[in-house]
Amino acid sequence: MYAISLGDDGAELRPLEPWRAEEFLAHIDRGREYIGQFIALPDAVTDLESSRAYLRSYAEKAAADAGGIHGIWRDGELVGGVLLRTMDLGQGTAEAGCWLEPSAVGRGLVTRAARVLIDWAVRERGVHRVEWQVAAANQASIAVARRLGMRKDGVLRESYVYRGKRHDIEIWSVLAAEWRAAGQGS
């Protein structure tokens, strides 16, 4: 039922709930190759059952107040999303992430969506530090981190095996004070 406008082009952010499993699978199928360059999401969503299981795992995170997933719709079609892979309110930390199918690239959709989500985490939920983990070669995602005002905390050398290759993982972050000072999300 719910939706948040992401701007004048009609893009919207909506809860990505388990009953969307079929729509989510179709979206992942459209972007499987592109999305799967650096992240394992497409490997986790390969049929209707795994799609539902993936969304259900995030619904359970939300029920435990420990994360969440939201989709980006453009012209009535699900084209990508943003998520909180983890949220630890006792520690005041969260890790955000994103994905996008290729047809929707280049419009700033992910940055706009991540701004809404991070702003909610910082201002409504009191999160102190939002982290962004990204393969060092994933320039598009690193560009989003920069646009969100994040700084690079370090590089976890050879820490991630994906599709048989070992990757460096960069950790970027923004602190609540930095977020507010930059006027992000407002």
Say whether residue 5 binds a copy of itself (CB under 8 A): no
Task: Report whether 178 contacts 149 (CB < 8 A).
Answer: yes
Closest CA to 10 of 94, 96, 77, 84: 77
- Of 27, 74, 115, 129, the one binding a copy of itself (CB under 8 A) is 129
Question: Taking the complex as a whole, how short is the minimal distance between the CB of residue 85 and a copy of itself, in angstroms?
Answer: 15
Distances (CA, A) of 151 to 38, 43, 132: 20, 29, 10
Q: Which stretch binds a copy of itself (CB under 8 A): 38-46, 58-66, 102-110, 138-146?
A: 58-66
- Of 34, 41, 153, 180, the one binding a copy of itself (CB under 8 A) is 153
Say whether residue 164 binds a copy of itself (CB under 8 A): no
Closest CA to 161 of 43, 67, 3: 43
Count, residues in the chain: 186
What distance, in Å, lies between the first and last C-alpha atoms of the chain? 24
Per-residue binding letters, 92-111, with a copy of itself (x by CB under 8 A):
xx------------------
Say whether residue 154 binds a copy of itself (CB under 8 A): yes
Three-state DSSP class for residue 154: strand
Tokens of 155: 């590089």
Q: Which is nearer to a copy of itself, 9 or 65 (CB)?
A: 65
Task: Report whether 152 contacts 141 (CB < 8 A).
Answer: no
Say whether residue 41 binds a copy of itself (CB under 8 A): no
Site for a copy of itself, rule CB under 8 A: 1-4, 13-15, 17-19, 56, 59-60, 62-65, 89-93, 116-117, 120, 124-125, 128-129, 131, 151-161, 166, 171, 173, 175
